Amino acid sequence: MKFVSRAVVMACMLAPAALLWSGSAQAQFAKPEDAIKYRKAAYTVMGTHFGRIGAMVQNRIPFNAQQAQMNAEIVEMASKLPFDGFVAGSNQGDTRAKAEIWSQADKFKTANDNMVRAVAALNVAAKTGNADNLRAAFGQAGQTCKACHDDFRRE
Ligand code: ASC
């Protein structure tokens, strides 16, 4: 024991707790507000980089294949994050999330998965380096954003 650092002892004691902790998405946030902040941050990152692609496909800034790829990569990664932030009890607070997210959970999951799939396709399109491919995939992905906002986000 003398030669084992306190940090190692602590880590061993905490490991089983960490396993339990990861057992459900809900347990990964100490408070509902943390889950709200987390999912909003993920949507902010996603929207920021999606918007940069939008500026390109709408010719507000010049098309740059490499920039498009970087942005699409980030959008795809960020798209996988927010769903787990919709924990029970996180419909109250600094959020525009509608109660239907929880009362129509299957429908919300489908809407989320449609977005994740469309954004993966956007990333594939970005990798072709072709602006027309990017524009088409951007339009499709944008429709999945809008569909979810229409049903599940308050004004
Ligand atoms: C964006 C952005 C969204 C979507 C949505 C598409 O650029 O931030 O949430 O596009 O407006 O309808």
* pTM given for the model: 0.83
Comparing 6-15, 24-33, 51-60, the range with the smallest average pLDDT is: 6-15
Q: Given pLDDT bands bounded at 50, 70 and 90, which one contains residue 4?
A: low
The 10s digit of each residue's pLDDT in 113-153 is 999 999 999 999 999 999 999 999 999 999 999 999 999 99
Tokens found for residue 111? 């809407």
Ligand 1: atom nearest CA of 143 is: 12
Taking the centre of ligand 1 as the mean of its atom positions, its distance from the CA of residue 146, in whole angstroms, is 7
pLDDT attached to residue 10: 54
Ligand 1: atom nearest CA of 146 is: 12
Phi, psi of 145 (to 5 degrees): -60, -50
* Residue identifier of the C-alpha nearest atom 7 of ligand 1: 51
Q: Tokens 């992905």 correspond to what residue?
A: 141
Distance from C-alpha of 113 to C-alpha of 117, rounded to nearest angstrom: 6
Mean pLDDT value across residues 89-105: 97
In whole angstroms, how far apart are CA 3 and each of 7, 8, 9? 11, 10, 11
148 backbone φψ class: left, alpha, beta (φ>0; ψ -120 to 50)? alpha
Q: What is the mean pLDDT of the chain?
A: 90
Cβ 134 vs Cβ 69: under 8 Å: no
Taking the centre of ligand 1 as the mean of its atom positions, its distance from the CA of residue 92, in whole angstroms, is 23
Taking the centre of ligand 1 as the mean of its atom positions, its distance from the CA of residue 46, in whole angstroms, is 9
Taking the centre of ligand 1 as the mean of its atom positions, its distance from the CA of residue 155, in whole angstroms, is 14
Residue 31 has pLDDT above 70, yes or no: yes
pLDDT attached to residue 14: 57
The 10s digit of each residue's pLDDT in 58-94 is 999 999 999 999 999 999 999 999 999 999 999 999 9
Cβ 152 vs Cβ 111: under 8 Å: yes
